Structure 1
């Protein structure tokens, strides 16, 4: 069977050791930390907190679903999963960079409350780390998608 007809996304336990699928573990961890920290902090603008919660929960759930699908081998049924992987990770990187920038922008409001300031700084750092992982994953996925086509 030619290499171009095989799906380049691994299945089963191979997702834990293949790049970029193994990066989903970091995306899952950092996204979960952002979710926890934003939920436990107080942000004066409820719309901002809602956006941060939406981004972190949405990406956490979709990343978990994709990782589970890849482990179960769903991507073996269709070659369109490489495109789904690219689109999702590019979109998630855009969502996370917007959330990280908004979190940093409003963190200065908590300078007088050290505990809240620490939560918001931590959420900002983890949001930027999640952005980095999603971006790297998207770039590697684009390269894999182009080489598979």
Structure 2
């Protein structure tokens, strides 16, 4: 008796399958945020292409503000994705700032990813993502409320808030449909 196992899509197939197609709006808006065990830090809407100079500008404007806001003192470590394509200028900038950076392998491979493991990872990832997207959307809404009456800036922030909540809703639907796909396999 043959069993039917649905294979998770990869590559460009994610743009043509449910529920994976629901994360396409994520590509429309980019947010940078940070958090610590003591609370949430700054949230920055990235309005242009994220290049190394823009990334350095965002870090420079937000990290130390967050450290002061959360009263972390000198006992904090920054963690980032450690992308092997991180620019030399960003590496030099981070070194100049003398921030303590968590060293961990970039894109470390998972050695035994079987189809059932991939599905459970997919469900877990999207479940956690819903929580973080909702947190980011609420923070962005809170910041936007404080800008009430600032004309164009307020209008742009309202648009960003609406997009953030739409992306959160789509991620939530994706998480539910991923869980159903996982359960049915």
TM-score bracket, normalised by the shorter chain, equals 0.5 to 0.7
Aligned residue for 1:71?
none
More helix by share: 1
CA contact (8 A) 1:27 1:133 kept: no
2:170 aligned with 1:130: no
Give unmatched runs, 5+ long, in structure 2. 33-43, 48-64, 67-79, 84-112
SS in 1 for 2:45: helix
Q: Which has the higher contact order (CA 8 A, sep 6+)?
A: 1
1:28-107 counterparts in 2 under 5 A? 28-29=27-28, 31-32=29-30, 34=31, 38-40=45-47, 46-47=65-66, 78-79=114-115, 80-107=117-144
Aligned residue for 1:19?
18
2:9 aligned with 1:2: no
SS in 2 for 1:116: helix
CA contact (8 A) 1:8 1:144 kept: no
TM-score, normalised with respect to structure 1: 0.64
CA deviations over 1:19-41 (Å, ceiling 9, x no partner): 01122222332x43x56x8135x
CA contact (8 A) 2:23 2:167 kept: no
- Bigger radius of gyration among the two: 2
1:138 offset after TM fit, Å? 0.2
CA contact (8 A) 2:130 2:172 kept: yes
Cα 1:108–1:12 shift into 2, 3 Å: closer
1:16 offset after TM fit, Å? 2.2
CA RMSD of superposed structures (Å)? 2.8
CA contact (8 A) 1:8 1:82 kept: no
Aligned residue for 2:179?
142
2:112 aligned with 1:111: no
SS in 2 for 1:139: helix
Work out the CA distance in 1 between the residues paired with 2:11 and 2:125. 21
CA deviations over 1:96-131 (Å, ceiling 9, x no partner): 111111111221221232122112211111110110
Give unmatched runs, 5+ long, in structure 1. 41-45, 48-57, 62-76
The number of residues matched between the two structures is 113
CA deviations over 1:34-56 (Å, ceiling 9, x no partner): 56x8135xxxxx54xxxxxxxxx
